[in-house]
Structure formats: C-alpha cells, structure tokens
Amino acid sequence: MEDKVFGINKNQYVFKADIHALCTMGELSGGVICMYMLYLHEVLKRAKMSEMVGCVDPSQLGALGCGNPTERSRHLANRFQNAKKWQIFMLPYNAGKHWMLTVVNPDEETIYFMDPLRRRLIGDEWEKVVENGIKIYNAHRNRSSRKSILWQNMAGIPVQQTDKDCAIFIMRFMKEIVEDRNLQFASKWQRRSSKELVYTQKDLDAVRIECLS
C-alpha cells in the first residue's frame, strides 16, 4: 500500500478466512478494514478530496498488540504532521473485541466519536491516546494546545444489529463521510432524530461489494 494511504509504506495481507467472513457477514479483521480504506483512498483521489480526508492505519492504534498509549499517540502525531489545513482523519479503533470510528480534525482540536453500539466514550484510554497525539502534533508545530480538546459524540448514527456488525458499520460510516463533498457528517449524526437511522442489508452489501471489487 503506497504511503499516501496511511502516511507509511505498508504490506497488507488478506487471508481466505477474511474473504469468507466478508461474504458471510462474519466478524471482520483489521486487514479487511485496511483494504477498504485503500479503496476509499482511491475514491478520494478521483473526487480530488485527498487533501480533505486522510486515513490512519488501524494496526497502529488498537488496544491490543499496537504498542503502549504513548507509542500510539506518537504514531498519530506523525500522521498528522503532513496534514493540510482543516484536513480530517478517520481512525478505526479496536478496543479489544469491538470496532469504533473516531474522526479527528487536528487543527481545530475537535474529535468526533462513533460507536456502532451508540455508547459514549467516558474516561477511556483511547481518549488520552488521541488527545496526546494532538498535543504532540501541536508541540512539533510550536503551537499551544487548547485547555480542553473538544469531543463530540455522534448519537444519531445507526446502531449495529448483531454482535459481529461493528466493523462493517464503521466501514459504512467511512463510506458516507468520503462520499459527502461537504463533509456534513457531524450535522447528520450528532443528534438522535424522531426517525431513527437504520442500515438495511442493501446498505451493508454496498460496502462488501466495494471491498471485493
């Protein structure tokens, strides 16, 4: 995978079990998410939006096997270094057995949090990892950080239907972010509405087809 996808050169392997899980709506690995982000990177290039939305490698972020919190914060800061002004970054994060999506605007010091179970993030290690990543990024630029970095919980996102849907749901979240040239995802998902947003099987199948294309 070229370094423009994640800011680093990376070989990504996808196994037969990954393809089987994708085809049968099974539990998806980080490798499948990485390959889908490669697809989304191509979508961004065609739409001339590469300088608006960036991706961060989930294998550098997870709670298990990805280094200690300081190492993960430094990886985030390094990824943000070449950010264009107001560029946002999509961060798939696995807390152990559950995928969530975080979107970061390092210049505005604003973080958008999306848990397919629609839970809020309160005092979690992940919160410190992301905030410290922004602080290290600011230190490299000789810029002082905000006293309190702003977290926005996206309470209006669709909720996963089974205990294996979390990965495909965050992939669908990323698809909708990338396909909106105005990047209005926060306006769409910030609050619950009287009409609940729901993903149909057709919505999820669209992601699976793109991932296999």
Q: How would DSSP label each residue in the chain? A: --HHHHSS-------HHHHHHHHTT-PPPHHHHHHHHHHHHHHHHHTT-TTTEEE--GGGT-SSSS--HHHHHHHHHHHHTTPPTT-EEEEEEESSS-EEEEEEETTTTEEEEE-TT-PPP-S-HHHHHHHHHHHHHHHHTT-PPPSS-EEEE-TTSPPPSSTT-HHHHHHHHHHHHHH-TT--HHHHHSS--SS-----HHHHHHHHHHHH-
Higher per-residue pLDDT: 76 or 142: 76
Contact indicator for 73, 129 with CB cutoff of 8 Å = yes
16-23 vs 30-46: helix axis angle to the nearest 10?
A: 70
The 10s digit of each residue's pLDDT in 14-70 is 899 999 999 999 999 999 999 999 999 999 999 999 999 999 999 888 877 778 999
The torsion angle over the Cα atoms of residues 119, 120, 126 and 131, rounded to 10 degrees, is: 150
**Distance of CA 76 to CAs 34, 37, 93, 168, 208, Å?**
16, 17, 12, 23, 28
What is the pLDDT, as a whole number, of residue 196?
A: 81
What is the pLDDT, as a whole number, of residue 83?
A: 82
What is the pLDDT, as a whole number, of residue 132?
A: 94
Higher per-residue pLDDT: 96 or 207: 207
What is the pLDDT, as a whole number, of residue 177?
A: 97
State the chain's mean pLDDT as an integer.
91
What is the pLDDT, as a whole number, of residue 85?
A: 83
- Give the global pTM: 0.93
What is the pLDDT, as a whole number, of residue 3?
A: 81
What is the pLDDT, as a whole number, of residue 20?
A: 95
What is the pLDDT, as a whole number, of residue 143?
A: 82
Q: Output the CATH code of domain 12-205.
A: 3.40.395.10
Confidence of residue 184 (pLDDT cuts 50, 70, 90): very high
What is the pLDDT, as a whole number, of residue 122?
A: 61
Contact indicator for 82, 131 with CB cutoff of 8 Å = no
C-alpha to C-alpha distance for 123 and 156, rounded to whole angstroms: 21
The 10s digit of each residue's pLDDT in 84-131 is 888 999 999 998 889 999 999 999 999 999 999 988 876 678 999 999
